[in-house]
Every structure is written in C-alpha cells, then in structure tokens.
C-alpha cells in the first residue's frame, strides 16, 4: 500500500508542468516559453527525486528520465542538458549505494531520449513513440539494476517487473499527452482570436474608408473654390482652415485604427479609461453611422485610471462596441450608449444597446469558445475580451432581454494617479 501511494505521488509530480501551464497561461495570449519549461521541469524533478520510490536502501526510482525527455521535446537540447546536470548533481547529493548506477542510467536514458525525440517530433504516431520511450527507460532501469544488484531484483521481482514499468509508461503518457493537448488548444485559440481581430478590423476599415471619403471630398471642393477665386484672401484662409481641420481629424482616426491593428505587446501601465473611450469612439463612429446606429458617450468628469495593457484594452472596447452596434442594425432608432463612473474603488464601464437582446441560455454561454449570437460569428471576440478583462483583475456582468436590449457592466480595479 505504501508503494502504491509513492507511485501515485510520482504520477502527480508528472502532472506539475501541465497544471502550472493551465494556471499561468490561462488568461494569456501566448503559448509556453523555454523558461517556463525549465522552471516547471526543475520543480517537478526536485519533487520527484525527493519523494522517490524504493524497496532497497540507497537504490531509488523516480520520473527524472521522463522529465528530461519532456524538456527535450518542448524546450530543446540546451534545456534538457541543464536538467540532466541538475538531476545528476541532486542524485549525487542524495547519495546511497545506487548513486553510480543512477548516474550511468542518466547517461544511457539521455542518449535514448536524443534518439527518440527526433522521431517523436517527426512522427504522426506520437503515442507509439511515447510508450516505446517508456519501455526503453524501464528496460534500462531493470537491466542496469540486475547487472549491478541482481539480488535486489530477485528479492523484489514484482517491483522491478511491474511497478517501475507502470511508473514510466503512465508518467510519460500523462505528461506528454496532456501537455501536448493544452499546447495545441492554446495555439488554436490564439490563431482564431487573431483571425477574429483581423475580421473585426476589416469591418471597421470598410466603414472608415467610407468616412474618410467625406472629408476628402470636402477638401477637394474647397481646393477647387480656392482655385476658382484665389484673390479672395479671407475666403481662402477660411477654406484652408476648414480643410486642415478635416485632414487632421481623418489623420487622427487612421492613426488610432493602425494602432489597434498592430500586434499586441506584453505590458501593463496606468491608462486613462476616458481617453481610451474617446479614441475608440472616434474609430467606431463611422461603423455606427454605416449601420444607422447612434453611438453616445457619457464619460466621467475626472480621469479614471486603471492598470492594463492599452492596446488590449482598446481591442476589448472595439469588440464590445462592434457587437452592440451589430445587435442594433435591425432596430429602428438603434442606439449604443457608453457610460463610465467610479464606484467603491472600481471603475465601472457600462455598454448598453437597444438591440435584439438575448435569453438566459445565451447569456450563460457568452464568452465560451465558438458560441455567438450571430449566424456568421465564432464568439472568439468576446472570449478574447473576457480573458483580457479577467487577466487585469476585472469582471463582466450581463443583463439582457430579447427584443429589448443588452447591458454589459465591465468592472476594473481603480488605480488613482500618483
């Protein structure tokens, strides 16, 4: 029974990188890094070797070979070498009569890992190579132990012929299969979220092209008037001033649009939500006009600052406002209102529309991947937005009624300006 507990504990340690990945990268728009593999593998290896299984004094068995192989697959040769040196030093520190056997086993299994990981990466039958690697690790452990300590094997045949293979087979299968599934799901989510952003930007760009054409037409008309009557200095100055204002407004909108379309960067800073709302409103106003929807903003009188990534926050605003506008496109006198206020040390942003609304079932599924109230939508825009809001310590609440409208209340921790 004690031995069974130790084996189960080793299986738990094997899941350490998988568990930490789901905790650390849950709300991040990027996948694992080599530094993450090194840190989590080191933690996993330290725990596994500290609480290793053993039936003979000084001869211990754990999942260190599996961790090195995992680091080789996801971190590369350099990371695996670091872990190999780490495990060798720690095993030397633990001591016991099986120390030289353990060091020899590390060299042999690392050579096997180098041979197998290239085939594992290139093959579509990854499960086969996972179990084959586990089998080779078990054979190395059994063969070397029998070579140096044959009496240990003969006195405990069940342990060496059953427990160690199960520990290797189940450990390597759990770690690599679950971690691989998480990594592929994260890549899929990031790819679809980026595609959703591109689609959103293309819709906004279509409305911007229409909106930019209006001031350009006005500027063209004023230039023609100046050309026809260049002697009238007063009128010419007036026409030039109006034309400059139109050009500057167009330039500001296009600048903010280009800033929104840039790749996101990992950073957080104090941002003024009021300023962000005014900027995004200017960008989204042409989109609202194209759908015959009024876009109203009631900002707070004083600066409302939160700690967030400005690029990600703008993208969140674009996603929510775009959805609200599209919900109102079939509504007579469609209206989307944005209001901002401070309540109990929180910045509260309310996005309200009088569009088609949602029922209770739709509200509960909001933010889920691939759920959308639009026939052609994927739902990833809101999924991404929910992830960003939660990553900044915020929350989202929704109230809606079919054919009445929807109200999103987004709450962020308020950070006063220093």
pLDDT tens, residue by residue, 302-356: 888 888 888 788 878 888 888 888 888 888 888 999 998 888 888 889 999 998 8
> pLDDT-derived band of residue 195, with 50, 70 and 90 as boundaries?
low
Across 71-85, average pLDDT? 91
pLDDT at 312 (0 to 100): 80
Between residues 409 and 126, the one the model is more confident about: 409
Do residues 64 and 49 touch, judged by C-beta distance below 8 A? yes
Q: How far apart are the first and last CA of the chain?
A: 60
- Give the pLDDT mean for 297-305: 82
Mean pLDDT of 116-144: 85
Determine the 3-state secondary structure of 81 from DSSP: helix
Q: What was the pLDDT predicted at 81? A: 92
Give which of 166, 251, 150, 261 is closest to 205, Cα–Cα.
261
Q: Work out the percent of the chain whose per-residue pLDDT is above 70.
A: 83
pLDDT of residue 57: 74
Tens-place pLDDT, residues 373-399: 554 444 556 777 787 888 788 888 888
> Sorting pLDDT into bands at 50, 70 and 90, what band is 218?
low
Asked whether 242 and 222 are in contact (CB, 8 A), the reply is yes
What confidence score (pLDDT) does residue 207 get? 58
CA 358 to CA 367: how far, in whole Å? 14
Region 141-167: mean pLDDT is: 83
User: Phi and psi dihedrals of 172, rounded to 5?
Assistant: -70, -35
Mapping DSSP to helix (H, G, I), strand (E, B) and coil, where does residue 102 land? helix
Q: How confident is the model at residue 213 (pLDDT cuts 50, 70, 90)?
A: low
- pLDDT at position 30 over 80: no
Q: Which positions ≥6 away from 92 have C-beta within 8 Å?
A: 99, 103
Average pLDDT, the chain: 80
Residue 223 has pLDDT above 60, yes or no: yes
Is the whole-model pTM more than 0.95?
Answer: no
Model confidence at 165, pLDDT cuts 50, 70, 90, reads: confident
Segments of the chain assigned to CATH 3.30.565.10: 268-418
pLDDT at 400 over 70: yes
Q: Please, where are the H alpha helices in 123-163?
A: 126-148, 150-155, 157-158
Average pLDDT estimate for 271-281: 86
| Average pLDDT over every residue of 15-27 | 83
Identify the band that residue 371 occupies on the pLDDT scale cut at 50, 70 and 90: very low
Of 130, 51, 119, nearest to 90 (Cα)?
Answer: 51
Mean pLDDT of 19-27: 81
| Angle at CA of residue 320, ends 198 and 314, nearest 5° | 65
**Strand partners for 351:** 338, 408
Rounded Cα distance between 43 and 38, Å, is: 9
Lowest mean pLDDT among 233-247, 264-278, 366-380: 366-380
Residues in Cβ contact with 323 at an 8 Å cutoff, skipping those fewer than 6 apart: 381, 382
**C-alpha span between 63 and 164 (Å, rounded):** 10
Q: Which neighbouring-strand residues pair with 297?
A: 338
Q: Looking at the domain that runs over 268-418, which CATH code has it been given? A: 3.30.565.10
Report the pLDDT value the prediction gives residue 370, as an integer from 0 to 100: 44
- pLDDT of 209 reads 65
């Amino acid at each position: 029974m004690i031995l069974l507990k130790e084996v189960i504990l080793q299986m738990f340690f094997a899941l350490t990188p998988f568990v930490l990945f789901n905790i650390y990268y849950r709300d991040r728009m990027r996948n694992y890094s080599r530094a993450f593999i090194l840190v989590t593998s080191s933690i996993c290896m330290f725990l596994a070797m500290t609480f290793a299984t053993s039936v003979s004094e000084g001869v211990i068995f754990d999942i260190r070979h599996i961790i090195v192989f995992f680091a080789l697959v996801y971190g590369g040769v350099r990371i695996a070498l670091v872990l190999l040196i780490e495990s060798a030093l720690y095993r030397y520190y633990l001591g016991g009569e099986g120390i030289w056997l353990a060091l020899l086993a590390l060299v042999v299994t690392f050579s096997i890992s180098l041979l197998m990981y290239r085939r594992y990466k290139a093959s579509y039958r990854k499960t086969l190579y996972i179990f084959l690697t586990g089998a080779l690790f078990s054979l190395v452990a059994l063969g070397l132990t029998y070579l140096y300590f044959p009496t240990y094997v003969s006195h405990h045949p069940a342990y060496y012929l059953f427990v160690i293979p199960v520990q290797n087979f189940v450990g390597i299968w759990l770690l690599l299969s679950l971690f691989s599934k998480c990594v592929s799901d994260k890549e899929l989510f990031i790819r679809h979220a980026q595609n959703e952003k591109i689609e959103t930007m293309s819709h906004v760009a279509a409305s911007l092209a229409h909106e930019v054409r209006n001031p350009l037409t006005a500027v063209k008309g004023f230039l023609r008037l100046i050309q026809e009557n260049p002697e009238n200095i007063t009128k010419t100055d007036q026409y030039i001033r109006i034309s400059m204002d139109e050009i500057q407004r167009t330039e500001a909108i296009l600048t903010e649009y280009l800033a929104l379309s840039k790749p996101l960067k990992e950073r957080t800073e104090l941002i003024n939500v009021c300023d962000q709302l005014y900027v995004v409103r200017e960008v989204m106003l042409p989109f609202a006009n194209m759908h015959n929807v009024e876009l109203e903003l009631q900002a707070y009188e004083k600066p409302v600052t939160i700690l967030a990534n400005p690029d990600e926050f703008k993208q969140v605003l674009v996603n929510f406002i775009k959805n609200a506008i599209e919900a109102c496109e079939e509504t007579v006198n469609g209206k989307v209102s944005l209001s901002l206020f401070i309540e109990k040390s929180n910045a509260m942003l309310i996005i309200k529309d009088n569009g088609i609304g949602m029922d209770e079932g739709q509200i509960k599924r909001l933010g889920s991947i691939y759920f959308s109230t639009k026939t052609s939508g994927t739902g990833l825009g809101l999924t991404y937005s929910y992830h960003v809001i939660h990553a900044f310590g915020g929350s989202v609440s929704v109230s809606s009624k079919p054919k009445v409208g929807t109200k999103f209340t987004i709450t962020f921790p308020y950070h006063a300006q220093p």
